[in-house]
Amino acid sequence: MSMQRRARILALLASDGGSQLGTKRLCQVAASATRLTGAGIMLVSDGGPRGSLCTTDDVSSLIEQLQYTLGEGPCIDAYREDRAVVEPDLAAPEVYRWPAFSAPAVESGVRAVFGFPIRVGAVRLGALNLYRDRPGPLTAGQHADSLVTAMIVAEAILALQADAELGQIAQTLEVDSDFHYVVHQASGMVAVQLAISVEEALIRLRAYAFSSERTLADVARAVVERLLRFDRSSGPGRSS
């Protein structure tokens, strides 16, 4: 790792007048340090996304939401494959990887997208998502800055989480986050309704959200509010 790069990025984090470090600042610095249009940080555990820690703008927020709803995209692949995932031309990729994610992302103004795993040693926490509003690959310097930024983000997350109670998320991490607690609750309810695992229930929720052109959070709220339930014989339908 270049110590000069690390020092420069840490200086950016400290350049906000000395205010307390928060997750929003992490995303802002990630975009600034890499000289890209926007950034988002997604936390992932057990192979599935848990939600967005922060985003820099509406487009990066949509990128995070699409990946959470669809279960595909650069952050998902970066976490699962434990490597950088780059797509310099999302509108005309050489390899068509994300059939559901790509079209709405391009429509929102995303032209290039890049995912970097967030990890400390062997412990993976999620992925850093970076996007640009024009196509083109990262320069060698931008790629190196992205790797260093992802490592600093991992260290910051662990530091912010250090004083939280076991099994709880630190309050500082929740300030700008969107952890979709309603989705986890709905997954548990659907798991009971269909007598399946929570992981499979989440897949069912995603499939229904995609087919009905709704967000995963919207479908989850309908399940929790008992406006929608899943039946083993007929699939999802309105409750009586």
Tokens 């990630």, residue located:
30
Cβ within 8 Å of residue 185, ≥6 positions away? 220, 224
Residue 208's SS3 state is: helix
Q: In the listed set 155, 174, 193, which residue is the last one of a domain according to the structure?
A: 174
**Angstrom distance (rounded) from CA 228 to CA 194:** 13
Nearest to 224 by CA among 203, 179, 193, 178: 193
* Per-residue pLDDT tens digits for 3-60: 899 999 989 888 865 445 567 888 999 999 999 999 999 888 665 656 788 899 999 9
> What confidence tens digit (pLDDT) does each residue in 192-233 have?
888 888 778 878 887 888 788 887 778 888 888 888 988 876
How much is the average pLDDT of 84-109? Answer: 95
Residues 163 and 208 reside in one and the same domain: no
> Of the candidates 157, 174, 191, which is a domain's last residue?
174
**Which domain range does residue 42 map to?**
3-174
Q: What is the mean pLDDT of the chain?
A: 83
Q: Are residues 20 and 130 in the same domain?
A: yes
Verify that 11 and 86 share a domain, yes or no. Answer: yes
- What pLDDT score was predicted for residue 93? 94
Averaging pLDDT over each range in 27-31, 120-124, 153-157, 164-168, which range is the top one?
27-31
Q: Are 140 and 208 in the same domain?
A: no
Same domain, 59 and 166: yes
β-pairing verdict for 48-55 and 228-231: unpaired
Q: What is the CATH number of the domain that holds 15?
A: 3.30.450.40
The answer to whether residues 198 and 163 belong to one domain is no
Q: What percent of the chain has pLDDT over 90?
A: 42
